C-alpha cells in the first residue's frame, strides 16, 4: 500500500464520483418527499396503502385521481429507479471524460438491469 502524504483522488475519479453522488442524493430526496406526501394524503383521506404496488400506468391514474397510495407507490418506484439513474450517470460521465472502456462496461450493467425490468414486466 502506498501512503504518500499527497494527492487527492485523481480528477477522473472525482469526475465519476461527484455526479453519481448528486444523482443518488436527488433520487433519495424525491423519493422521500413522495413517500411523505403520499402518507399524509392517505392519512387525510383515511385510505390504506395498497398491498401490491400496481403497474406504472395504474399508478399514474391513481395519482391523477388524488390517491395517496398511488403517490406512495411512485415514491417506492423512484427509490428503486435511483441506482439505475446513478448507473446511467456513470455511463455519461465516462463518455464525457473519454473513458470508453468503462462507458461500455457500465452500459452493459444498465442493459442487464433494463432486460431484467422489461422481461419481468412481460
Partner 1 sequence: MGILETIALGGAAAAAAILGSMLGLGGGVFLVPIFTLFFGVDAKIAIAASAVSVITNSVVGSTVHLRNAFTNIHLAMLLGITTVTGAIAGALLAIVVDASVLYFIFGVVLLAAAISMLVRRQKPIPNSEPEVPDPFLLRATYTDRATGGAVSYVPRFVKAGLAASTFAGVLSGMLGVGGGVIQVPMMNLLMRVPVKAAAGTSAFLVGITAVATATVFYADGKVDATVVVPAMIGIFLGSKLGSNLTSRLKTANLVVLFVAIMAYLSISMILRAFGITLPGQE
- Of 22, 72, 16, 65, the C-alpha closest to 43 is 72
CB of 106 to partner 1, least distance (A): 5
Q: Which of 37, 76, 88, 95 binds partner 1 (CB under 8 A)?
A: 76
- Euclidean distance between CA atoms 23 and 20, whole angstroms: 5
DSSP state of 85: H
Q: Which of 44, 46, 64, 101 binds partner 1 (CB under 8 A)?
A: 101
CB of 46 to partner 1, least distance (A): 12
CB of 12 to partner 1, least distance (A): 9
Task: Work out the angle at residue 32's Cα, subtended by the Cα atoms of residues 82 and 103, and round it to the nearest 5 degrees.
Answer: 15
Q: How many chain residues interact with partner 1 (CB under 8 A)?
A: 55
Amino acid at each position: 500500500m502506498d501512503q504518500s502524504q499527497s494527492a487527492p483522488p485523481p480528477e477522473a475519479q472525482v469526475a465519476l464520483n461527484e455526479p453519481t453522488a448528486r444523482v443518488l442524493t436527488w433520487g433519495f430526496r424525491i423519493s422521500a418527499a413522495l413517500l411523505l406526501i403520499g402518507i399524509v394524503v392517505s392519512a387525510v383521506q383515511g385510505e390504506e396503502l395498497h398491498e401490491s404496488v400496481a403497474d406504472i400506468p395504474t399508478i399514474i391514474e391513481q395519482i391523477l385521481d388524488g390517491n395517496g397510495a398511488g403517490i406512495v407507490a411512485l415514491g417506492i418506484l423512484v427509490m428503486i429507479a435511483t441506482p439505475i439513474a446513478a448507473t446511467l450517470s456513470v455511463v455519461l460521465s465516462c463518455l464525457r471524460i473519454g473513458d470508453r472502456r468503462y462507458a461500455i462496461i457500465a452500459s452493459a450493467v444498465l442493459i442487464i438491469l433494463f432486460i431484467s425490468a422489461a422481461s419481468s414486466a412481460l
